[in-house]
Structure 1
Amino acid sequence: MSSKSENSDFIDMVNNYDWASTPLGPMDTWDPVLRNAVNLCLRTEFPMAIYFDPPNWLIFYNKGNPIFMVYLP
C-alpha cells in the first residue's frame, strides 16, 4: 500500500507531466469533466477507469501504479 506522501508525489508527477507531448494535449485544455474524473481517480483508494470519447481513450489508475492510457479504435 502506498503512503500518503508517495501518493502526493505521484499526483504532483501527473500534474507536472508534459501532457502536451501526448494526444490528450496540455492538461489545462482538457474538458473539465475529464480533469475532474482524473483528479477523482488520483485520490481514491480503489482502481478506476475512465472512458473518454472522443478520442476513444481509456485512462486507468491503480493507486501506486502509473496511469495507463489505451487508445480504443
Structure 2
Amino acid sequence: MKTLESKFVKKILIAKALKRLSIKELAKLSGINHVTMSKILSGEQTIVHQSTFDKLNDWLLQEEKK
C-alpha cells in the first residue's frame, strides 16, 4: 500500500484540467477504476495499492513528456 501525497494528487488535477478530461476519461487513460480516481481526486482516499500508484505515476510521466 502506498500513501499519496497532496503534491502528487495536485499534479494529477493540473494535468486533468489542462487536458480538459473528465474523471472517467482520466481513469480510462491511466488504467484505474473511475470510482477510485474520484476518491483520490476528492481526497477521500489517500492510501492506494502499489499498482494504482504505479499506473498514476506512469500516466503522469507520459503526460509530462508531451
TM above 0.5: no
Larger Rg: 1
TM range (shorter): 0.3 to 0.5
Greater fraction of residues in helix: 2
Please, what TM-score do these two structures have when normalized by structure 1?
0.36
Please, what TM-score do these two structures have when normalized by structure 2?
0.38
Greater fraction of residues in strand: 1
The one of the two structures with greater contact order (alpha-carbon pairs below 8 A, sep at least 6) is: 2
